[in-house]
Structure 1
Amino acid sequence: MMHPSLNRRLVLRLAAGIVLVWCVATGWMAWRSLHEVNEIFDQMLVRTAASVFAVMPETPTAGSTARLPDKHVIKSDRTAQRPAIALRNAHGRLLIDNEELPALHFDRDDAHFHTVTYGKRRWRVFQRWDRERQYWIQVAAPLDERNELMRKLLAPTLLALLALLVLVPPTVFVGLRGGLKPLRRLTRSLAASTMPLIPVLTDAQVPVELGPFTRAVDCLVERLRVGLEHERHFTADAAHELRHPLAALRLELDLVGRSEEAAARAQHLQRAQHALDRMQRLVTQLLMLARVEQLTELADVERLRLVSVVETALRDLSERAAARSIELSLDHDGNDFVRGSRGLLDILVQNLLDNALRHAPERGQVNVRVGGAADRVTLEVNDNGAGFASTDPAQLGERFHRPAGSLGEGSGLGLSIVRAIATLHHGQLEFDRSDLGGARVRLILPQATAAPP
């Protein structure tokens, strides 16, 4: 199977265009040349008729009919083609006759041309009536003479054009191969590269036409490099985080096998279950973060009230908060319409509240405030836990990062998921110290002031 070739494609298209232009130009030139030759010969017939009228007397003389000598009688006529001439007076009597012409019909129409066939030859005839001198004249010339002249005129030109048609395709092919040399150079540089990712292609030797292509490839490679580096760190961090619960699970299971007392085995099994729960939570968050980060736009956008999402999350977490005697409260002003994905916003609010409950102490407080102002909606989650260390806010939202002094056994992925979902909704995250003494996480989203069309 023949592989597609840019060089062959360009050559074929250019050759087809050249052949088409050549055919059109040759046809137009032949038509134009024939038209000009006919004009020249017709004007010669007109001038011949005028010359005959100029030498004829004003009054026709009686007498016999004159006959012009044959072409071969005069030596100069051997190289100069003389038109055939027939002249009559007003009564139709021939004054000048020519044996090569047939007996043509005379009429009193204006001067005009017509073509007749006599014998095996076609004749171009000019006919004119001189009203002042009362003469009829007909001047004729065979068409094969002008056709022969046309062949002599067009043959060299057509041969030159044909030679040009034969020489242009290989010339175009050679020129295109030279013009496509930068592409072959790029191909060789890519094939010779031993780097995991291809090197930078854009340099001073790249033609202007290839500049946008090489810059686009360089940008793509850079994004791939950053993505691969990001995923490499992510995989290493995930393996590191999973190593601890796996080691704890293995240790507890080993202790279960060695313990003889039922109470000790139950305690070790409970710890193993706790390690499994931690692993399950970590894997779930990893999958959620991977799913959110691969999104480039929201597919299920709707206009909704952010407070309704918060109320649902508070109901889901109420039992967990009650188990630790944590007080949950909600303040809102009703001006909280946003446009977004309800499912992703549910995940965002769940993670913010989960993070607050983990860091709030026993009998603590978690307060949520929702309000809208100045074309934006703000969601604040406050707790009275330990808060953020002075060096933590710049690193919050990074994968597997946990602030110093954090309580509980979080994985450090919750705020990463929150940041990714906020970015998809064109939102911003801010971290500060709460009025309750702990941490404050503020989410700012664009406000939806009108219903979607």
Structure 2
Amino acid sequence: MLIAPLILLAVLNAWFDYQSAGNVATQQDQRLLALVPLLADSVIGDVDDRPLLMLAPPMEDFLKERRSASYAVLDLDGKVLQGADWLGGLPPSDNEPEFHSEEHSGTTWRIVRQRQRTVFGDVVVALGDGSDPRQQWARAVLYKVLLPNLVLLAGAAFAVRWAVERALAPLLALKEAVERRSPRDLSAIDAQASPEEVRPLVDSLNRLFGLVNAQAESQRRFVADAAHQLRTPLAGLQAQVEAWAQAAGAPPSAGTLALPTEQVYKLRNATRRTSQLANQLLALSRADARAMQSQPQQRVDLKALCEDSLQAHLDAASARHIDLGLDADPVLVMGHEWLLRELLSNLVDNAVKYTHEGGAVTIRCGRRGAQPYLEVEDDGPGVAAQEMPRILERFYRVQGTQGEGTGLGLAIAEEIARVHHGHLQLQAGAGGRGLKVTLPLPG
């Protein structure tokens, strides 16, 4: 945008120089034409059939001023009678002056020829001026217009690039800071660290972040409050339904009515799913990465965590004849213990729930190189490669999956992984069977 006007100015400058040179050339032609009669009047006689000259004072002044000036007196056939031989040539066909430019000895001359009547007779007077402004204009264009403007353009391009990069450096830093942010990071940008010119933009972004953050926080609180309020009545309802299910499985005593066993079991299963959903929604709300950023971390013993999870799920695994194993090495990491416990519980619960009866589930922790990790592997039906990215989404369940579930277990685990600055790694288990879920943790 800046170089284009500079080029235009250079062209305009050259055009004005050309106009100026044209005006000077016109004045030069007029002066030469005015000197032609004076040169003719300088012929005062003849000597040996050659004209005798006594130059008029204006002619002498002209020749002294212009070292690159020359003259000649020719006969009507163009032969030089007096003066510079190189000015000879075809004479004009009439009495009108004839102007032209001619190259001689590396100089461009402006020459005028005209027939004149003198005491010697009719002759042709030729007068040349080597200070042709047209030639000077061509040199001026090269040395005074083109080269300086090319240097100016190069310098301007460098200066503009340096100035723009220096001026926009804070804005580019702001751009990179925004690009590096997680989609969940809605904290305000430091306006004082931004250049004054973009502070209104930073203030607008901060207001937008604040509105979105407030809306997300409102939704989070609503989910947490709703899930928390549902836990108590659902717990009571589940207790009642569990009692009915036990009563339905026992033989009816005298004076009691037999309960419809199938309907009671369906009600019990629905109550369990609803209670689990409420607990998972509450866990998901509490595990929100934005809400946990300000919470302090502490040292967590991953081996003890794995052992507790093994104990908690051993009965459920035994009921389905699943070999629930532990492969744990002592390792300590910085994190939120109750969140990592929730993550591991969800992973193990999923593995036990979806692995076929008689299968195997292994809980692991330790280090691979310098990287601590938590891992749960099963030999169940596994997940197709194209489905793996989607099973971390909330409420998503693989088509055709058997068993109860809400599609929140892995979503909660992924949310907890984000709190610990990581992501769940999903891959097939040993021998291409089942699913292996790994969480790398900071050392």
TM-score (norm 1): 0.44
TM-score (norm 2): 0.45
